[in-house]
Amino acid sequence: MLPNANADAEGSELGPLAGASGARISYSHAGGVDDVTHQDAIINVQKSVRLQIAPARAFAIFTTRMGRWFPNRGTSNRHLILEPRAGGRWFERGPDGSECAWGEVLAWEPPARVQLAWRITSQLRFDAALHTELEVRFAPQDSGSIVTLEHRLEGYGDEAADMRAVLDGCWQGLLDSFASYASRSIVTRAHPIGCAVGPSAHCDTTQ
């Protein structure tokens, strides 16, 4: 089950998306090797998407409207919130005010980079002792931008390869959804069925 993120609590000040109509979306495979990077025998997931909006705009949409574009496979009306500062929290808030943690903001460098601690185990539970890093970079390219997402999986230890198999398609689906929202275009790829990332199922049963 994907996280339950029907709406965000921030970002309403952005207004309509400038230059979104008819925007092209294209995907690149880092290194040409099925989106996998190898560093000291650790397997990471890396995805990229090109947009015809400026990096600053892409950064703002990614971070302040996360609850709107993050794929929703849940049943409850939760808000996905990313506090806009280094050290800020990354969490869900339920309609009753209950909260469920995902991780925190490690680096906040608008409009170029945001780095997050992802602390969700292979059992879809939050574990403060688990440390994996999700880094998203926003760079200018031609008249638009390229957004690159990398999830460094070394924190999973012996489970890193298995988690790569789970998260590879999930993060592609996440960028598909982000790109679709940012460009106001029709989603052209279906999100992988059975993709399981995020703690929402656990949140729903424990709140």
pLDDT tens for residues 21-68? Answer: 333 333 344 433 344 444 444 589 999 999 999 999 999 999 999 888
Q: Residue 191: what pLDDT?
A: 42
The mean pLDDT of the chain is: 75
**Model's pTM, two decimal places?**
0.74
Q: In the prediction, which pLDDT does 77 show?
A: 63
Kindly state whether residue 7 falls inside one of the protein's structural domains: no
- φ, ψ of residue 163 to 5 degrees: the values are -70, -30
Q: How many domains does the chain have?
A: 1
In a domain, 154, yes or no: yes
- CA 162 from chain centre, in angstroms, equals 19
**Is 83 contained in some domain?**
yes
Residue-wise pLDDT for 111-128, tens only, equals 999 999 999 998 888 999
User: Domain with 130 in it: what CATH number?
Assistant: 3.30.530.20
Mind listing the pLDDT tens digit for each residue in 168-202?
A: 888 888 888 899 999 874 444 434 334 555 555 55
pLDDT at 61: 94
In a domain, 6, yes or no: no
Residue 27, domain member (yes or no): yes
Residue 69 predicted with pLDDT over 80: yes
Q: Is residue 3 part of a domain?
A: no
In a domain, 109, yes or no: yes
Residue numbers of the domain that contains 183: 12-206
What pLDDT was estimated at residue 152? 94
Q: Is residue 72 part of a domain?
A: yes
Q: Does 186 or 70 have the greater pLDDT score? A: 70
